[in-house]
Structures are given as C-alpha cells and as structure tokens.
Structure 1
Amino acid sequence: MSVKARATQRIQKELKDMKSKHSLYSIGIETKGTEETNVFKWKTTIYGPQGTPYVGGIFQIRIEFPNDYPFKPPKFTFETRIYHPNINSNGSICLDILKDKWTPSLTVEKALLSISALLAAPNPDDPLVPEIGEQFKNDRFKFDQTARKWTEQYAYN
C-alpha cells in the first residue's frame, strides 16, 4: 500500500470518527457542487470558547493534509479573521503541535481541541503577531475589547 493510500485511510477514519460524535466543532470534506472532491482538504468550524472575547464567534478553519499524513502535520488555516497573538492575518497558527511537536499519534480532533484551548489561553510569550502579544500582556482590557469587536465583525453569522 502506498504512503498516500495509507494517509487516505487514516484521514477517512478520523473523519468518520469525528462525524459520529457531537463535539465543539463541525467538519466536512471540501466539495465542488454536490460532490465530495478531496479527502485531503477539509473545512471545519470551531466555536469561540466561553469566558473569552471569542464567545459567540463561529470560526472557519481550512485543513490540508500532506500525502504522508500522519507522519507530517496537516496545515490548519483560519479563514475567519481573528484578533489573536498566535494567529496572523493570513490565518497561520503558531502552535507547537502543528509544527515541530507533531507526532503520528495526534489527530485532527486533538489539534482542534488544542486550537480551541489556544483561543481560551493565548501564548503572548511566543506570538506570531508581536504587537498583539504585547497588548495582551500590557493592556488586557484593550486586547479583550478589540478581540470581541473583531469576533462580532467577522465571526458572527
């Protein structure tokens, strides 16, 4: 069996497992028209965690799997704009398990839970956007106010 075929099997299993349970997010394969086109490209939605300026927000994330998944991490990209020190304007996410701390035992579900935890507890000491990280540390009220405003502007449906 080829590496890509094994990756396809793993991805399909994770998709089935995630669709079979109620969770904090919704997930699906990217489609064209009514056809599912590519199991290696997913669209997912996560919800802003309670007790954060993101509460009430619905955030779209695109997931792209490499052909050698799960040995390399999938790429997660926020499609919904968000004001966060660890997520930049291109939607890139600074989270160690999505980069050098990825292991084949991790799953998309665990990564989404980690992203949700990152929304609840940003890491301003390792920011992707240094000025937002500084604001988070030095003026939390202004950070929360701006993050809430962006959530209302970009993440409410």
Structure 2
Amino acid sequence: MANPSTSNKRLQKEITDLQKTPPGWGSASIVGDSLYKWKASVAGPEGSPYEKGTFDIEIDIPADYPFKPPTIKFATKIYHPNIKSDGTICAQVLSQWSPQLKIVDVIIMIRSLMTEPNPDDPLEAEIAQQFRTDRNAFNKTAKEWTKKHAK
C-alpha cells in the first residue's frame, strides 16, 4: 500500500505537469479539492467518427495509487464497442497497469482506443458486431452520437 503522502506528491506533480504542458487534444483538472478525483476532456481523434467532439472523462484515483490503477469512466455518451452506455471502459485499457504509468498515459490509451476500437474485447457486443460487419453504419451512428452528446 502506498503511503498517502507519496501518493499525494505524485498526483500533485502529475496534475501540475499536465496543466503546464497539456497534450494538444486534451486537458485535466481536479474536481473540488480532492487530488483523488479528476476530470479530463479529450478531443475526438482526427479521422475517427469522434472527430469534432469533446468527451469528458471522470477519473477516480484509489488511495493506494500508483500501485492500483484509477477507475475511469466516460461522462459523455459515446457509441463505441469497448465503452458501455454507462461510460464504463473495457478493463483491457487498465489491465496493462504498472506504477510507472501516469494518469496522462491512461488518457492517451483511451484516446487511442477511440481511434482503434477493439471489437474482439467488446463491452457492447452489438456495436462490436456492427463495427466488424458494417463499418459505414457504425461510423454514421458514432458521428451522430458525437454530434448529439460530445459538444
């Protein structure tokens, strides 16, 4: 179990670094005054059906971070085979977790999942099936959802 002050120092450094030099496609901030709850905004990747959308992500960080991964959930509805309608993201994203990873790395992994969904590890089987068999219909629906929900 991580020492809370170690965890606090690390999170403080991560959020400071992220705010000083945010990636061009996203941002993160602390919710309220707890270092253990963050909100990130991610621009839909260019060339994906999520392009032109901004997606909010909730990040809950456990007290024993970085030894345990954060819990991540989409607050913005997204049509995606690896993201449930309640915003839950497939565990595969965090199955590679190690204490060397940072929250920004997780956000990068999520953004790459938006670019390249994995229909072989779906949380939404019907969407995965559509992604595999009718990419045009998948892209059309994903674009409509992005326009409707990801402003």
Q: What 5-or-longer segments of structure 2 have no aligned partner?
A: none
**RMSD of aligned C-alpha atoms?**
1.1
After TM superposition, the score normalised by the length of structure 1 is: 0.92
Q: Secondary structure at the match of 2:35?
A: strand
Within 5 Å, give how 1:1-157 maps onto structure 2.
Answer: 3-23=3-23, 24-31=25-32, 37-98=33-94, 100-156=95-151
Separation in 1 of the partners of 2:91 and 2:8?
24
Supply the distance in 2 between the matched residues of 1:63 and 1:21 (Cα, whole angstroms).
19
Aligned counterparts of 1:22 and 1:73: Cα–Cα separation in 2: 21
Deviation, 1:13, is: 0.7
Q: TM-score, normalised by structure 2?
A: 0.95
How many residue pairs get aligned? The number is 149
C-alpha distance 119-92 of structure 1, shift in aligned 2 (>3 A): same
Q: Deviations over 1:15-50 (max 9, x none)?
A: 01111113121111102xxxxx11100011000000
Distance 1:152 1:124, change over 3 A: same
CA distance in 2, matches of 1:127, 1:97: 12
Give unmatched runs, 5+ long, in structure 1: 32-36
Q: C-alpha distance in 2, partners of 1:151/1:65?
A: 27
Runs of 4+ in 1 over 4 A off after TM superposition: none
Q: Residue 34 of structure 1 corresponds to which residue in structure 2?
A: none
Identity %: 43
Which has more strand, going by share of residues? Answer: 1
Superposed displacement of residue 97, structure 1: 3.9
Mapped to 2, the partners of 1:73 and 1:9 lie a distance apart of: 16
Give the secondary-structure state (helix, strand or coil) at the position aligned to 1:81.
coil
Q: Is the contact made by 1:86 and 1:95 (CA closer than 8 Å) also made in structure 2?
A: no
* Whole-Å separation in 1 of the counterparts to 2:9 and 2:93: 22
C-alpha deviation, 1:9, in angstroms: 1.1
Cα deviation, residue 95, structure 1: 4.5
